[in-house]
Amino acid sequence: MEVKKESVIFPLPSDSLIAKKEELWRVELPIDYKNFIKVNNGGSPQKQSFICNNHSYAINRFLCILEAPANTEMGMFDIEVIWTQLDERLTDDGDLLGVVLLPIAVLFAGDFLCLDFRESRSEPKVCVWEHENSAEFEPVSYHVADTFDEFLNMID
């Protein structure tokens, strides 16, 4: 899967910044995703479509990891910024510390592609989080792939 190079958001995240975010979110990001984000931070894919639940989705842009999102024009696409805005709509347990669904891409029409940590804190699946039907502590999501690499291979 290729990303439009001009769409990548700089600075690219360092290993130490990614580790800091993993600690904050209380998850272990998969290696395939870490390798992707370190090169394609916030980029828009050349090919954008994938099928999930008999529906075609389009990726507008992958989200980025930034040290200081407020200091850049593209900071609105930072994972932390989006996660904070959607917080209670991305979990079904208000007492849980850390991330359950971590948004990693903006999809056409307001949905998000997420890493799904509900079954494992170190081996997340990939899902689509549906914004229209999700409510506080009632996220609605659809399984897309068992791994991030598997997901990348689904994009047309």
- Tell whether the model's pLDDT for residue 1 goes beyond 90: no
Query: What is the rounded CA–CA span in Å between residue 155 and residue 152?
Result: 6
The secondary structure of the chain in percent helix, strand, coil, rounded to multiples of 5, reads 30, 25, 45
Asked if residues 46 and 61 have their Cβ atoms less than 8 Å apart, the reply is no
The per-residue pLDDT for range 92-123, each reduced to its tens digit, is 877 676 789 999 999 998 999 999 999 998 99
Residue ranges of the domains in the chain? 5-152
Q: 3-state class of 50 per DSSP? A: strand
Which H helix or E strand runs over 25? helix 15-25
> What pTM value is reported for the model?
0.95
Q: Burial code of 77-97, b = ≥16 C-beta within 10 A, e = fewer?
A: bbbbbbbeebeebbbeeeeee
C-alpha pair distances (Å), 76 with each of 2, 6, 23, 97, 105: 22, 17, 22, 23, 12
Second-level CATH architecture of 5-152: 3-Layer(aba) Sandwich (3.40)
The per-residue pLDDT for range 32-66, each reduced to its tens digit, is 999 999 999 999 999 999 999 899 999 999 999 99
Among 121, 113, 116, 100, which residue's Cα sits nearest to residue 154?
A: 113
Q: Tell me which residue has tokens 């390798």.
A: 35
Q: In the numeric block, which tokens belong to residue 91?
A: 């979990």
Question: Residues 83-93: what's their mean pLDDT?
Answer: 85
